[in-house]
Structure 1
Amino acid sequence: MPIWKKNLVVCWFGMFATGIGMSQIAPVLPLYIRHLGVTHEAAIAQLSGIAFGSTFILSAIFSPIWGSVADKFGRKPMLLRASLGMAVVIGCMGFAPNVAVLIGLRLLQGVITGYSTACTTLIATQTDQEHAGWALGTLSTANIAGSLIGPLIGGFLSEHFGLQNVFFMTGSLMMVSFFTTLFFVKESFKRTDKKVRHAKDIWNQIPEKGLTVTLFVTAFILTIALYSVEPVVTVFMGHLTSSSHLALLSGLAFSASGLANIIAAPRLGKLSDRIGAHKVMVMMLFTAGLLFIPQGFVTAPWQLIALRFLFGLTAGGLMPSVNIMIRKITPAALTGRVFGFSMSAMYLGVFGGSVFGGQIAAWLSIRAVFFVTAALLLMNGLWVYWRVYRQVNAQAIRIQHLNEER
């Protein structure tokens, strides 16, 4: 088996565990804050928002920094640093004596992030061009699926094993990821650039600046779409059914898109290898946008779950396509840093999506969340068609004409 395939298996597990570790606290956090002595409902809601959002904001800030370090010293050291650091920090959350310590540990968790960035960079630089789409597609399922399934796992663990054990179990999972990375990930790293020190230097060396920004925005909007319904799905399910299994139905709605993502991403990655990532990206953006519209009209839980599953199938082709395009247009020496900025856009999308969905629901209605998200995806699809699809096609035609003239 090629080295990149072995590394892909280890990185997939690590990114899945990281996604769970970043998101499993969502349903547990308010209960744990109450467990730590806060009794006022308004204070619990406020502190929960601070503790949840602060991790993703700091992750967005530090992802490019760790990407830069990975370009200088190698990706495997970053994988070991992040997995061990998260194992210790998340485990310590189970011992937090008060809310201040819990929030401090959540802040530290955001600082030591970087596992996903290093994994993506490692696989992108090791995999040959022929298999890049499939490899990055497979890898992308890990983080998204872990993040979407994480709340369901967190709720299940807290109900059956206790609140503190959620943190202990997640920390243990990250420790397993640390040891599998230590023993099984192989990397022959050679630093190819020693002069790039500042963000301005990085930006000056990126050949396709407009295209790169478009890809960052697409990653941001896609993540907003994935998480915009997270704050409202349980309430929305309550409007659709009076069943006593509301928590289970809400969990299924959360997990449906994650499961679909796991199924679709490797296959759509292969399709990107065959017909071009830019074509898959445009098709999936428009399809995803259209699939959000009927979600606002559903009248039964099974309809929402089915549509969330179909959306997950389309979303499975988007992040791999973004990563493939970034890999193609980025110099090898800057790969880690540029993927770090891409991951920052995704972390901001997680935070922004959660806030965005809640605000739209509060000011307009829950159903409006689906319509506004659909409009965002469709507008992004038009922008990507104009800035990416047409540009890449024009370049391909020019290259073909040059080859014919020769």
Structure 2
Amino acid sequence: MAVVIFLQAFVTAPWQLVVLRLLQGVFSGFVSNSNTLIASTAPRSESGKALGTLNTGVISGTLLGPLVGGVIAQYFGYRIPFMLTGSLLFIAFILVTIFIKEDFKPVPKGQEESTKEIFHKLKNPNLILAMFVTTLIIQASNNSINPIISLYVKQLMHNSSQVTLVAGVVAAMPGIANIIAAPRFGALGDKIGTGKILIGGLIFAVLVYIPQAFVTNVWQLAALRFLVGISDACLVPQVQTILAKYTDPKYTGRIFGYNQSFQSVGNVCGPLLGSSISGVLSYSAVFLSTSVLAMINFVWVFTHLKPKNTKAKK
């Protein structure tokens, strides 16, 4: 991935960039594998805190990346950010190689278990499948807002000249809240039960998405988007924690890989859903539809997450 991104600084035709971006996608499983590594090595009683902390790092990078990249591109050109990103990834490769020690035992050739066999051996396969669907809906809900957030800010500000700056601030609000809250909710889930945090987060998501359809100024929207970040801190990290706690360590990689696939589907479906609804109805309708998705997700999780599963396993 470091090599592929570094090479993007030297493309001379659009098709070359397209090919390299496709290759980047092929090798972009670092975060997923990081989740798997932490889930399989952290003590089960502290997996919520560990995965919440990792999520904080991911969100921090997501927030800082566009900001730093934009500043560098403005002053030094578009090619330099690719060089710096490739170099940073190479440094990450060195750090992982030196400091990460994994007790890994490869499966002998011919003894690989099929997906059906793995799910048959899981303690609660229905719960795992439910978490996959939950991940898809969470990502679809969050990403349905992305295509219209800048346009919604523009509408609220009546085409003010400061739209770009304010839209950036509003877009960053969920990430800022997530950075603050994710490790805390992860640790709290380890104490009172991960399922309780997840269900509470879904209820809170419904409550904070609905008012966003009726805001009258951009600062109301910014405050509500900050609250969305708090609800997000109760969702994806908790799903990952549940997957970790109810999966045998030797199957963790496969299960987290499947979950990543559902997450990717949600990332694709969300923007399509949001842009379609805003085109047919209005920007406000997108927030209402997202609250409906969150409610469906709540019912789905509440149905599958039985009381005995809400306690964190020690």
Per the TM superposition, whether the score is higher than 0.5 is yes
- Whether the aligned pair in 1 keeps the contact of 2:33 and 2:253 (CA below 8 Å) is yes
Equivalent pair of 1:152/1:255 in contact (CA under 8 Å): no
- CA offset digits 1:98-134 (Å, max 9, x no partner): 2211111111111112211221111112111232111
Q: Could you say which structure has the greater relative contact order, defined with CA pairs below 8 angstroms and 6 or more residues apart?
A: 2
List aligned pairs for 1:310-325, cutoff 5 A. 310-325=227-242
Would you say 1:184 and 2:99 are equivalent positions? yes
Partner of 2:33, secondary structure, is helix
> For residue 98 of structure 1, what is the amino acid of its counterpart?
A
Name the CA distance, whole Å, in 2 between partners of 1:181 and 1:371: 43
Is residue 255 of structure 2 the alignment partner of residue 338 of structure 1? yes
Gaps of 5+ in 1: 1-85, 397-406
Q: 1:279 to 1:395 in 2, by over 3 A?
A: closer
Counterparts in 2 of 1:375 and 1:120: CA distance versus 1, 3 Å: same
Amino acid at match of 2:199: V
Q: Does residue 1:271 correspond to 2:208, yes or no?
A: no
Partner of 1:131: 46
Letter in 2 for 1:230: N
The CA deviation at 1:243 is 2.8
Residues 290 and 378 in structure 1, CA contact (< 8 A), matched pair in contact too: no
Aligned with residue 264 of structure 2, among 334, 347, 352: 347
For the structure 1 residues 152 and 237, does the alpha-carbon distance in structure 2 shift closer, same or farther, using more than 3 Å as the test? farther
Q: Quick check: 217-226 or 204-213, which moved more?
A: 204-213
1:363 is displaced (CA, Å) by: 1.5
* Pair 230,166 (structure 1): closer, same or farther in 2 beyond 3 Å: farther
Give how far 1:192 is off: 6.9
Specify whether residues 394 and 311 from structure 1 end up closer, same or farther in structure 2 by C-alpha distance, changes over 3 A only: closer
Q: Give the direction of change, closer, same or farther, for the CA distance of 1:225–1:149 in structure 2 (3 Å limit).
A: farther
CA displacement at 1:287 relative to structure 2: 0.3
SS at match of 2:145: coil
Matched, 1:208 2:119: no
The TM-score with structure 2 as length reference comes to 0.91
Percent identity of paired positions between Structure 1 and Structure 2: 39
Unaligned runs of at least 5 residues, structure 2? none
Aligned equivalents of 1:108, 1:129: Cα separation in 2: 35
What does residue 361 of structure 1 align with?
278
Tell me which of 171, 195, 204 is aligned to 1:287: 204
Residue equivalent to 1:141: 56
Matches within 5 A, 1:6-405: 86-147=1-62, 150-191=65-106, 195-241=111-157, 242-390=159-307, 392=309
Query: Take 2:64 and 2:149, find their aligned partners in 1: how far apart are those partners?
Result: 14
The aligned length equals 311
- 8 Å contact 2:174–2:227 — kept in the other structure? yes
Shift of residue 289 of structure 1? 1.8
Secondary structure, in 3 states, of the residue corresponding to 1:138?
helix
Amino acid paired to 1:232: I
Q: Tell me: CA distance 1:375–1:153, structure 2 relative to 1, closer, same or farther (3 Å).
A: farther
Residue 151 of structure 1 deviates from its aligned partner by 4.1
Q: How high is the TM-score relative to the length of structure 1?
A: 0.72
Cα distance, 1:155–1:370 mapped onto 2, change above 3 Å: farther
Matched residue of 2:285: which SS?
helix
Secondary structure of 1:189 counterpart: coil
CA contact (8 A) 1:280 1:317 kept: yes
Counterpart code for 2:138:
L
d(CA) in 1 for partners of 2:243, 2:302: 16
Q: Distance in 2 between matches of 1:312 and 1:355?
A: 22
- Compared with structure 1, are the counterparts of its residues 309 and 393 closer, same or farther at alpha carbon in structure 2 (3 Å cutoff)? closer
What residue identity is the alignment partner of 2:131? L
What is the rounded CA distance, in whole Å, between the counterparts of 2:202 and 2:20 in structure 1?
36
